[in-house]
Structure 1
């Protein structure tokens, strides 16, 4: 009975802790937005130089009602998703093959590492000349930016597997497929997911640049067009949208980690 009572007493504290964990990350952003609104309302900062958050929200509502904002957001999401899927798939497959095979590692890894050290945004002139200024060029640029973080983390995760675990798998008579699915891939998964999280940030950074160059749609195009007309409301709106999309991507990556690495938490609880 005493143990049950003690357990019941700790539950409110646990709930309180979880509540703080949910709201604490938003404390600084909310404070910054509040100070921003106060600074503009008190004329500490000129509204022509830095519009207030309310003015940015009103501009967003107006653009949403005209249909321009949802159209450009959907186009940017399509480009980002397509580039991530293509580049991420290539990076994962190359990392998997090079991590598992010493022959392909010797053949390809050195060349991939040389290409990885070239800033992918410096390839914009080459991409435009080779692929033009259409969707293919923008998606390809995002794919190149995403590919290398996922490749290097997949490669590192697979090559860092404890050799003793592999020996134990061989001792139990596991097939190559069973070794891959039960030892290699689960052991490399935490590192691979770190690469996915980093690649999502690179995805949005690359897309911002790609959409500001010879583009006629997307959030980056909206920002560039607004800059030409000195429309700071829309420029700041586009920046906020990119920040929110980046935060949403990070939350998706965290949720994926929680789902895929649930076995690690279960192992810690058992210990």
Structure 2
């Protein structure tokens, strides 16, 4: 029978995991002690099958490894109560210190594996990917950088001299993201001169990846909305729409893109 998990039962399971987790032992080696502790501390162990309790420990194991920054293992759980309870344990200095120590020791133990030199294998050390990108007009990029050769967010005028252009290096960014998911909500092609902004490399990454994203968007929005042509296709929408558009892109703190992947056309770097 599928019985809903109570807060108390979840709490006992988390307590049991933290009580017996040991860096020198695998979860399998301490699972018996964990289950015995659960049997002694829950109101009714028999209300669920033995397998259900074991799976719950695997859920906790999964979350624990995620919190410690270790490779994922165990079974991903779905209960918010479990996350809430584990948060309480991680906020406790005793447990935080132990998990930090656990994480550090694990990486030290794997150091030789991580840093071991190995021969390049042309078969296993590469992968093929298919990227579908919207077509970008490089002419407007060049023209825009010739007109606006500074960062429109931080107002920086000096970065470094570009090998390609011989000029100070800046990157062009589509203010409203030129993304297929976003573009379908606009009649006008977003790859247009009035939707471009010039950014220094740091601000360009920040608008995609940093927690200050919304602040940068607001700063640029206050300037862009005054441009008649931009307002012509953006309409009377507020800043909330653009913030929502950015959430539809794949560059977030949970999916940080390696910008070096685009080094084939960095001078014309547009996103």
Q: Same fold (TM over 0.5)?
A: no
- Give the TM-score, by structure 1 length: 0.22
Greater Rg, structure 1 or structure 2? 2
Q: Which one scores higher on RCO, CA 8 angstroms, separation ≥ 6?
A: 1
- Give the TM-score, by structure 2 length: 0.22
Whose helix proportion is higher, 1 or 2? 1
